[in-house]
């Protein structure tokens, strides 16, 4: 990974950390950062988890500048600078895997989790984004949830479980996660998004009708596809 990308990622994560510290009461909103969990499909790394009586908030950070195009169902989103375009994985899909891993680790239903994607750079959304995708005001978004889902004791228990399940924050853990991501995205058998099997499918309509591709067996809940 390029040094520039590492620095940008660090800046984005620190922005969220500062926002949590400055605007969320630490007694009501318990924070964990940089969590790596072992899953059935390798490892997954989660930027920020905030546990409160009102649910578990899972934040994926992107420190991107420029114009951002994407929709909830797109496999990839696009970042543009003038005539230059760069594609990246739909962060909502990325966060779906994070929530699944957290749900498996804690035994808590996925309905108790809130997914948030936060762009910390100088970015402008050029397509309409879901309410949980934002480039400002993530703490305000969190505070709008007022229905209690957990007791204070249950919040303590969730923090304890996550602390015990997370992998040690070491260089060896980071290297293992990088290997896991590479192997997952090179696989032609397993969906890198949710871990279910990939199956061969055929395009039924449009200009590519008849073409073969790999699709997740968990469709329509998981819409991951890969060209053959």
Over residues 64-82, the pLDDT tens digits come to 889 999 999 888 899 998 8
pLDDT in tens, 132-159: 999 999 999 999 999 999 999 999 999 9
pLDDT attached to residue 217: 87
Residue 47 confidence (pLDDT) above 80: yes
Query: What does the mean pLDDT of the chain come to?
Result: 85
Confidence band, pLDDT 50/70/90 cuts, at residue 177 = low
**3-state secondary structure string, the chain?**
CCHHHHHHHHHHHHHHHHHHHHHCCCCCEEEEEEEEEEECCEEEEEEEEEEECCEEEEEEEECCCEEEECCCCCCEEEEEECCEEEEEECHHHHHHHHHHHHHHHHCCCHHHEEEEEEECCCEEECCCCCCCEECCCHHHHHHCCCCCCCCHHHHHHHHHHHHHHCCCCCHHHHHHHHHHHHHHHHCCCECCCCCCEEEEEECCCCCCCCCEEEEECCCCCCCCEEEC
Section 184-203 average pLDDT: 76
pLDDT level of residue 1 (50, 70, 90 thresholds): very low
What value does the CA radius of gyration of the chain take, rounded to a whole number of Å?
18
pTM, to two decimals: 0.74
Q: How far apart are CA 46 and CA 57, in angstroms?
A: 11
pLDDT of residue 183: 62
Q: Quick check: 96 and 73 in contact, CB under 8 A?
A: no
Supply the pLDDT for residue 31. 93
Q: Which residue has the higher pLDDT, 100 or 182?
A: 100
As a whole number, mean pLDDT of residues 116-121 equals 91
Q: Is the pLDDT of residue 7 over 50?
A: no
42/48 Cα distance (integer angstroms): 19
Pair of tokens at residue 145: 């949830």
Mean pLDDT within 161-167: 91
Q: What is d(CA 52, CA 113) in angstroms, rounded to the nearest whole number?
A: 10
pLDDT value, residue 8: 52
d(CA 81, CA 85): 7
């Amino acid at each position: 990974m390029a040094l520039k990308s590492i620095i940008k990622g660090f800046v984005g994560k620190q922005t969220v950390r500062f926002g949590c510290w400055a605007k969320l009461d630490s007694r009501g909103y318990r924070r964990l950062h940089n969590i790596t969990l072992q899953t059935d499909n390798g490892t997954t790394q989660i930027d920020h988890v905030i546990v409160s009586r009102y649910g578990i908030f899972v934040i994926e950070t992107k420190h991107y500048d420029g114009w951002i195009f994407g929709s909830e169902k797109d496999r990839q989103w696009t970042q543009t600078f003038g005539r230059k375009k760069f594609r990246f994985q739909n962060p909502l899909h990325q966060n779906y895997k994070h929530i699944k891993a957290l749900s498996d680790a804690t035994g808590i239903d996925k309905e108790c989790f809130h997914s948030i994607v936060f762009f910390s750079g100088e970015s402008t959304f050029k397509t309409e984004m879901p309410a949980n995708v934002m480039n400002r005001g993530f703490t305000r978004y969190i505070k709008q949830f007022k229905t209690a889902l957990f007791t204070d004791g249950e919040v303590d228990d969730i923090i304890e479980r996550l602390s015990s399940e997370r992998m040690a924050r070491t260089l060896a853990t980071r290297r293992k996660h990088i290997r896991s991501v590479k192997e997952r995205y090179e696989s032609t058998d397993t969906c890198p998004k949710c871990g279910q099997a990939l199956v061969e499918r055929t395009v039924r309509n449009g200009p590519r009708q008849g073409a073969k591709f790999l699709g997740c067996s968990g469709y329509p809940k998981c819409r991951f596809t890969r060209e053959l």
